[in-house]
């Protein structure tokens, strides 16, 4: 869930919204919906989110009124809050904040380089009544509120949380090294294909996984090989390999890659009545194979659905995510276990 404070409507603010949205979609833990908190120019922001919310407590300075409106609007158990002027977010931001809530804390917020970033926080829905009481009392400082409710500070070793407030900031961000993680946008906020011609080739590997949940009888047919369409997993394995090889044809900004290997593994889970799929893709080149691995997983699961839909149209695909990647300038990355 994403709550963003957007007070002004100009070109660079809208560009920053796109940057932040891209960073949210790149999180290692999936986000269900994107919400924007904006009291003016609402129509301009509707194209960038699932909903645009306005304050229920107009006139209060700071983000707490927008946070209250978002907490009131969500059905989920938690709300991820981000400002619109901090687009350089670590991919594990949500993962690490969520881990801090496991012990029962009602909120967690980011820290880096000895500084707190209270506007970058993860909040539980249960905070809504107390927040309303606070706003009614005219109290609106976010850090003080987080301290009083027992919010957990979460340290990030890399100081990603730079404020971008001007067109010049966006220009410098676009010209920066991959440090910002936003290379598919240019200085005008337009999508473009990244020029990788000057990068050094390295061995690159990516692992991705996902699952498809089905009726127990459907799973039994797959396991026994008695499905009327034949070897479901065998065909899904071939589909995964084909999907990895055709990723650049499916995803607009991906580069065609010379894959050196695609390994596909399935695991049948009777306890949850689902098929797990894991794909490892590898190449020796100048850009990573994360998209190839993720595409292969999704194509494999779609193939299972296609082959079994005649007897089980309610199958559900979920949990599709990157597990690990190696190689390239950013080195090794490993998702936290779920």
Catalytic positions, written as ranges: 306
Strand pairing report for 259-269 and 152-155: unpaired
Angle at 304 between CA 298 and CA 306, to 5 degrees: 100
What tokens were used for 317?
Answer: 């695909």
Distance CA 110, CA 124 (A): 15
Q: Which residues touch 256 (CB under 8 Å, ≥6 apart)?
A: 248
Q: Which residue has the tokens 């107390």?
A: 130
Report DSSP state, residue 48. Answer: G
Query: Helices 290-308 and 216-224: crossing angle, nearest 10°?
Result: 100
φ, ψ of residue 120 in degrees (nearest 5): -110, 95
Q: Are 165 and 85 in contact (CB under 8 A)?
A: yes
Distance CA 158, CA 140 (A): 29
Which 3-state string (H, E, C) describes 200-266?
Answer: CCEEEEEEEEEEEECCHHHHHHHHHCCCCCCCHHHHHHHHHHHHHHCHHHHCCCCCCCCEEEEEEEE
Distance CA 200, CA 105 (A): 44
Torsion-angle region of residue 27: left (phi > 0), alpha (psi -120 to 50) or beta? beta
């Amino acid at each position: 869930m994403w709550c963003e404070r957007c007070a002004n409507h100009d070109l660079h603010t809208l560009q920053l919204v796109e940057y932040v949205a891209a960073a949210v979609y790149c999180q290692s833990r999936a986000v269900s919906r994107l919400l924007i908190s904006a009291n003016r120019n609402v129509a301009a922001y509707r194209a960038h989110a699932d909903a645009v919310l306005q304050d229920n407590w107009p006139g209060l300075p700071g983000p707490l009124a927008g946070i209250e409106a978002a907490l009131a609007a969500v059905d989920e158990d938690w709300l991820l809050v981000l400002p619109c002027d901090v687009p350089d977010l670590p991919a594990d931001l949500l993962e690490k904040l969520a881990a801090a809530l496991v012990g029962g804390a009602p909120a967690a917020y980011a820290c880096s380089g000895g500084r707190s970033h209270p506007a970058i926080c993860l909040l539980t829905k249960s905070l809504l009544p107390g927040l309303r009481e606070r706003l009614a009392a005219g109290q609106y400082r976010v850090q003080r509120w987080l301290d009083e409710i027992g919010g957990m500070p979460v340290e990030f070793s890399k100081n990603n949380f730079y404020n971008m407030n001007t067109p010049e900031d966006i220009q410098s961000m676009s010209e920066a090294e991959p440090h910002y993680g936003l290379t598919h946008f240019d200085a005008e906020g337009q999508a473009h294909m990244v020029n990788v011609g000057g990068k050094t080739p390295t061995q690159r590997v990516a692992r991705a996984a996902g699952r498809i949940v089905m009726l127990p009888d459907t799973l039994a047919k797959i396991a026994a090989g008695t499905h009327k369409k034949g070897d479901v997993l065998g065909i899904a394995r071939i589909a995964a390999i084909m999907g990895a090889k055709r990723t650049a044809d499916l995803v607009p900004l991906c580069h065609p890659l010379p894959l050196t290997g695609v390994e596909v593994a399935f695991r049948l889970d009777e306890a949850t009545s689902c098929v797990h799929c894991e794909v490892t893709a590898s190449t020796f080149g100048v850009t990573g194979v994360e998209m190839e691995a993720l595409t292969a997983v999704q194509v494999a699961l779609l193939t299972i659905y296609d082959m079994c839909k005649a007897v089980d149209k309610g199958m559900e695909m979920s949990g599709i995510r990157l597990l690990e990647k190696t190689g390239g300038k950013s080195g090794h990355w490993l998702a936290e276990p779920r």
